[in-house]
Amino acid sequence: MEHLKKYGGYALITGASAGIGREFARLLAAAGVDCFLVARREARLQELQQELESKHQVRVKYAAVDLAAEDAIAQVQAAAAGDTIGILINNAGFGDGGEFQTRAPERMEEMIRLNCLAPVLLSRAFMPAMIERKRGAMIMVSSALGIAPCPFEAVYGATKAFDLSFGGALWGELEGTGVDVTTICPALTETEFMVSEGFTESQAKQAYRRSDSAELIARITLEGLGKQPFVYAKDSKKMAMARRVMPLPGVTRMVRGFMKRAKTARREAEAAG
């Protein structure tokens, strides 16, 4: 992935302490790109910093920041002051599945702030310098659940639809400026996502037997950067195809059936304790 070094400076990766974000950092460091890690869990950031520096002899900085906080962007800007950000990876996010009327309003607001507002404000903060330098890149992490309306993940799916549209719009604005934009739509990926939504470790492990690895998602995204505006995982390609050929209500019903099965599994996990 030699093409990644052309952007210069640091790759700033949000949600870098686990999952896809951590794999982005590992692949970038292996390609010789310095990394700026952003996530809430400082101990994990320190551990990853030590791993990347010792294995790849790159510069690694980090900022332990909750990107859903009101002053989060200012904290990140202050931590990165004086550094060139050549690649911005808007990866941090979370879901909160279940019937919409049962979800906590505070959790919904936090999700919207993290999944939508943080990428917008981080992009606004760092992309002008990329445009001025005529080189840089941004990666937006969307989801297969953002391709069509997603019952029982209504807010999460909507935030990922926002990310998909936002990433595509910036690609359209910046094409030809030297700043590359790619949006990735992962499907089920082996991360901490399912456990954070209430599934047991054993249920998550069973589901992940049919999933993509976080490393695969990070790799196909980086390979597509500068070449493709949108990158789809295998199952999200199927969703995108269904969205093109089926009426929207039909696609929504199809997604509803899948999510109902997932909801049943979640309830069984909660009942089991």
Catalytic residue among 7, 10, 62, 156: 156
Q: DSSP letters along the chain, please?
A: -GGGGGG-SEEEEETTTSHHHHHHHHHHHHTT-EEEEEES-HHHHHHHHHHHHHHH---EEEEE--TTSTTHHHHHHHHTTT--EEEEEE-------S-GGGS-HHHHHHHHIIIIIHHHHHHHHHHHHHHHHT-EEEEEE--GGGSS--TTSHHHHHHHHHHHHHHHHHHHHHTTTTEEEEEEE--SEESSHHHHTT--HHHHHHHHTTSEEHHHHHHHHHHHTTT-SEEE-HHHHHHHHHHHHS-HHHHHHHHHHHHHHHHHHHHHHHHH-
Can 55 be counted among the known catalytic residues? no
Residues 129, 139: Cα–Cα separation, whole Å:
16
Tokens standing for residue 194: 């399912």
CA dihedral of 111, 115, 120, 121, whole degrees rounded to 10: 60
Catalytic position from the list 7, 10, 160, 232: 160
Q: Is 156 known to be catalytic?
A: yes
The catalytic residue positions are 156, 160
